[in-house]
């Protein structure tokens, strides 16, 4: 599996898929917002290296191939 970054403004999520086409088809599974808004999907690469993801049983996201979501900046809390 390959690692992809999905981004809309300050909203960023990371997910695994076999190809860019599959990631575009499954982007709504990562975040519902991605289903109806234009989202920038890009494969994360490091020149000279292969990034290979292997799902681990019993971890969050392993069943559906997605990784846990990370959002943009945390909202400020009222004090």
DSSP-assigned letters across all residues of 3-64: EEEEEETTEEEEEEESSHHHHHHHHHHH-GGGGTS--EEEE--BTTB-------TTSTTTTT
- The pLDDT of residue 19: 92
- The pLDDT of residue 62: 47
In degrees and rounded to multiples of 5, residue 23 shows phi and psi of: -65, -40
Residue 77's pLDDT band (cuts 50, 70, 90): low
List pLDDT tens digits, range 11-65.
899 999 999 999 998 888 888 888 888 999 999 999 999 988 887 877 665 445 5
Q: What is the largest CA-CA distance in the chain?
A: 48
Confidence (pTM)? 0.66
Beta bridge partners of 42: 5
**Domain parsing of the chain, residue ranges:** 1-73
Rounded to whole angstroms, the Cα distance separating 42 from 6 reads: 7
């Amino acid at each position: 599996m390959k690692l992809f970054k999905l981004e809309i403004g300050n909203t960023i999520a990371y997910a695994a898929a076999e190809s860019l086409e599959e990631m575009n088809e499954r982007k709504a599974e990562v975040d519902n917002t991605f289903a109806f808004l234009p989202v920038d999907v890009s494969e994360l690469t490091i020149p000279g290296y292969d990034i290979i993801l292997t799902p681990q049983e019993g971890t969050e996201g392993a069943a559906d191939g997605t990784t846990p979501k990370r959002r943009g900046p945390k909202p400020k809390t009222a004090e």
